[in-house]
Amino acid sequence: MKRALLFTALAGCATTGALAAPANPMPMPSQDIPARVEALLRQMTLEEKAGQLNQLSGKDFTGPETASKTNKLKDIREGHVGSMLNIRGVAQTREIQALALQSRLKIPLLFGLDVIHGYKTVFPVPLGEAASWDLEAIEQSARIAALEASASGVHWTFAPMVDIGRDPRWGRVMEGAGEDVFLGSSIARARVHGFQTDKLGGVDAIMATAKHFAAYGAAIAGRDYNAVDMSEQQLHETYLPPFHAAVDAGVATFMNAFNTLNGIPATASTMLQRDILKGSWKFPGFVVSDWGSVREMVVHGYVADLSGAAQAAMAGGSDMDMEGHAYRTHLPELARAGKVNMAQVDDAVRRVLTKKFELGLFDDPYRFSDAEREKRVMADPSHRAIARDVARKSMVLLKNERATLPLARTLQRIAVVGPFADARRDLEGGWIVQSDAANVVSLLDGIRSHAGSAKVDHIKVDGLQGALDAKAIQQAAAADVIVLAVGETWDMSGEAKSRSDISLPGRQEALFAALQATGKPVVAVIFAGRPLIFNHIADGAAAILYAWFPGSEGGNAVADVLFGDHNPAGRLPMTFPRNMGQVPISYVQYQTGRPVRDENSIVYKSAYIDSPNTPRYAFGYGLSYTSFAYSDLRLSKKRIGPTEQATLSFTLTNTGKRAGAEVAQLYLHDRVASLVRPLKELKGFQRVVLQPGESRTLSFTIDQAMLSFINARLQRVAEPGEFDVMVGASSDDIRLNTVLELGGAM
Ligand code: BGC
């Protein structure tokens, strides 16, 4: 057994670039907030305290008068509501805030909303943005979302979702940053900063939420809301770090999760919320439950009734009850009966009030609700330009045979075919809050505006439903190139959209085969919120562009890539399997005692007899219209001591004829350790733009933190020994490698 070096810091080496953030006017003074909170708390009744921990949905506010609406309005006026979700727009937020100000203590409401990938201007779905590996672009997307949402009276977004997702059946992988701990943590920080800026208090800074705490992405069999069963070591090593990164970035709130974790609902987990989050990590913000997750503990069979649910959630560290009605109904009586700890209730209220002060709502409850600003910000044309740039950066070129792309300017005729050729709503993806699908640029619009003198034929064959129209397909043969737009509809991924089969739905692969039979090159553009399986297209298409759900400017962004106005540089943030049997799947693989060393010799090896182990497309993979060479790997030291660092450097050269971005990836492997370590773990990356022929020296600093892992006793340790150091263009395309030795303890 090797001696472990214990330490606590978890270092990362990717940098979140400084973003030219718009001014953050008038941050509120924070020095006297604790005193103001205490003064208020002293005046509050038990009912008013429970009220601050009660969050209701305003969804039914726009419809007819209902009993539920009447009750909610009354509750707000009487100070029994601390926050509303699904209320937006200056007019509505002003109206509802005015009701809260009629209450005895005039405590303003917080307005929360799922601003997941844009507000009025829709950006790519988060998984798509993650494929850009461009932290500045991702931060900027969150910034624009915050500008628009805040101008519409919204104080708080329920984003980013930082759940690690390794099972593409789970529809919510669409909302996250994919499968990797390091990439996910880097993106968590970028998104939090984009939403919140450096400090809450500016009128364009909204509170972010790290969700869903925790391990929600590991639902058994990829079925949403399902139980999670995992070792604490895996929890700490893989699922918690992006949450920790969000805390480090100053995230204002957390949301817990619907799932049970090893038998205990996350909503009632003292281990997660009290010991880890508020204890070890010293998180100063508050935790909101997921929608009704407090009351769902009755359905789980964890508590007998709603009162028990309120008691368990409060003990577990859930500060605010989202649409569960458990705190509002039962906390006062539980407190009077001594069944909840009053110090815990006060602590929860304190946390909520502190955020209201930090946002400046006690100084001006309407400060986010300014009609003139709302009008001006929503009309800002720069937001769409940024959305277009982020969308094209998110796209991943999976295949490009015989340099089919970019499309030649000499083409005379382009056929655009498939169910998504003129789609608008689908290009937005799920979790849309304030956009108008009519304003989305379709693929056809984008191609038409880029095609110059080439004739663009829209050939209407669906492929999702019904039979394929052979006559229409034949028309495509007249074109020089066929652009086939396939994928999932917007509502096939997202919450409660788990699929047991992630193949391209309907007859889209058959449509591809029919088009391929025309003999014309087929360029497939795939719209989706998750990795899909599309083996016929993967084998037979001339080129494939994975466009995710790209948002308002989707059609323009795809066309920018197809016509070469943008050189694609997206890299997959999730592994794409060949078949369902490989799922769940990730590049993070542990060495077995029987590894496959030769695909032709798999007897008694850790293999499938009917499928290779390797995925269709690996994590980190993506092509460019240019090529890059890696050379001259140098390590400043072959051996480092516990407090030392080594600098790894290498030369990256653009060996092609176009300017382009490469994402150089650093992977490490601890050869012998007290727990068997993954064969590769991403520990750094750099996205670099190079002109044709240009070379640049890139370097990474490797220190003990990067060599560390969570051991069997849940301690972060770096064990002395040898480490493989690998630099490559993707997790399965390592171009340079060497070995670094970590010496023993001081
Ligand atoms: C989702 C959350 C979301 C909440 C509020 C829940 O169903 O799991 O992610 O923030 O609804 O809309």
List beta partners, residue 546: 396, 526
Q: Which of 529, 527, 526, 544 is nearest to 397 (CA)?
A: 544
Distance of alpha carbon 51 from its chain centroid, rounded?
31
Helix, strand, coil percentages for the chain (3-state, nearest 5): 35, 20, 45
d(CA 142, CA 122): 11
Q: Give 209's DSSP letter.
A: E
Q: How many C-beta atoms surround the C-beta of residue 300 within 10 A?
A: 18
Whose C-alpha lies nearest to ligand 1, atom 12? 114
Residue 147 carries which side chain, given as an amino acid letter? L
Q: How far apart are CA 51 and CA 273, in angstroms?
A: 21
Low-confidence ranges of the chain (pLDDT < 70): 1-31, 745-746
Q: Which residues are bridge partners to 561 per DSSP?
A: none
Instruction: Determine the distance separating the centroid of ligand 1 and the alpha carbon of 290, expressed in angstroms.
Output: 6
DSSP SS3 for 451: coil
Distance 296 CA to ligand 1 centre (A): 14
Q: How far apart are CA 243 and CA 59, in angstroms?
A: 29
Neighbours of 304 (CB within 10 A): 10
Residue nearest to atom 8 of ligand 1 (CA): 290
Residue 146: its H or E element: helix 135-150
Cα(276) to centroid of ligand 1, in Å? 23
For residue 115, the CA-to-ligand 1 centroid distance in Å is 11
Cis peptide before 108 (omega within 30 of 0): no
pTM of the predicted protein model: 0.96
Backbone angles phi and psi of 499, in degrees to 5: -125, 140
The protein residue whose alpha carbon is closest to atom 5 in ligand 1 is 291
**Total residues belonging to the chain:** 746
Per-residue three-class SS string for 585-606: CCCCCECCCCCCCCCCCCCCCC
Tokens of 384: 């769409």
> Which residues on adjacent β-strands are paired with residue 665?
685, 728
388 touches 510 (CB < 8 A): no
Q: Tokens representing 736?
A: 């340079």
Residue 29 is predicted with a pLDDT of 56
Spacing, Cα 127 to ligand 1 middle (Å):
17
Active-site residue identified among 134, 290, 319, 560: 290
Check if 114 has its Cβ closer than 6 Å to any atom of ligand 1: yes
CA distances from 73 to 67, 165, 365, 536, 564 (A): 10, 39, 18, 56, 55
Residue nearest to atom 7 of ligand 1 (CA): 291
> For atom 10 of ligand 1, which residue has the closest CA?
158
Half-sphere CA count of 159, side-chain side, radius 13 A: 35
Are residues 697 and 635 in contact, defined by beta-carbon separation less than 8 angstroms? no
Any atom of ligand 1 within 6 Å of the Cβ of 158: yes
- CB contact set of 42 (below 8 Å; sequence gap of 6+): none
291 lines ligand 1 (CB under 6 A): yes
Which tokens go with 399? 């295949």
Q: Half-sphere exposure of 474 toward its Cβ, with a 13 Å CA cutoff?
A: 3
**CA gap 211, 213 in Å, rounded:** 5
Answer whether 447's CB lies under 8 Å from 427's CB.
no
Average pLDDT taken over every residue of the chain = 95
Distance 34 CA to ligand 1 centre (A): 30
Q: Where are the alpha helices (DSSP H) in 167-285?
A: 181-196, 232-234, 241-248, 270
Please spell the DSSP secondary structure of 507-569, one letter per residue.
THHHHHHHHHTTTS-EEEEEE-SS--B-HHHHHH-SEEEE--S--TTHHHHHHHHHTTSS---
Burial of residue 645 (CB within 10 Å: 0-12, 13-18, 19+) is: middle
Q: Whose CA is nearest to atom 6 of ligand 1?
A: 291
Q: Is position 290 annotated as part of the catalytic site?
A: yes
The pick from 85, 158, 170 for probing ligand 1's pocket by mutation, whose C-beta has the most ligand atoms within 8 angstroms, reads 158
Q: Which two tokens stand for residue 426?
A: 């689908």
Mutate to test the pocket of ligand 1, among 55, 291, 321, 322 (most ligand atoms within 8 A of CB): 291
Residue 511 to residues 332, 480, 524, Cα–Cα distance (Å): 62, 18, 11
Q: Cβ(254) to ligand 1 under 6 A? A: no
Q: Is 290 in the pocket of ligand 1 (CB under 6 A)?
A: yes
505, 463 Cβ separation under 8 angstroms: no
Residue 328: per-residue pLDDT? 97
Going from the Cα of 224 to the center of ligand 1, the distance in angstroms, rounded, reads 12
Does the CB atom of residue 495 touch ligand 1 within 6 A?
A: yes
Distance of CA 10 to the CA centre of its chain: 21
Q: What angle do CA 322, 319, 34 make, to 5 degrees?
A: 130
**687 near 133, Cβ under 8 Å?**
yes
**Residue 674 DSSP class:** S
CA of 606 to the centre of ligand 1 (A): 39
Identify residue 615 by its one-letter amino acid code. P
DSSP single-letter state for residue 161: B
Any idea what the Cα angle at residue 38 is, between residues 37 and 43, rounded to 5°?
100
Tell me, using a 6 A CB cutoff, whether residue 211 lines ligand 1. yes
Instruction: Give pLDDT, residue 744.
Output: 85
Neighbours of 284 (CB within 10 A): 12
Q: Residue 466: what pLDDT?
A: 82
Distance CA 167, CA 172 (A): 10
User: Of the residues 253, 290, 322, which should be mutated to test ligand 1's pocket, given the most ligand atoms within 8 Å of the CB?
Assistant: 290
**Nearest Cα to Cα of residue 237 among 544, 637, 539, 590:** 590
Q: Is there an atom of ligand 1 within 6 Å of 129 CB?
A: no
- pLDDT, tens digit, for every residue of 192-218? 999 999 999 999 999 999 999 999 999
Q: Is the CB of 216 under 6 A from ligand 1?
A: no
Return the residue whose CA atom lies nearest to atom 4 of ligand 1: 291
Which of 703, 707, 733, 730 is CA-nearest to residue 718? 707
Q: 474-477: long-range contacts (C-beta < 8 A, 24 or more apart)? A: 474/518, 475/415, 476/415, 476/417, 476/515, 476/518, 476/520, 477/518, 477/519, 477/520
Q: Identify the CA nearest to 100 among candidates 116, 76, 123.
A: 76
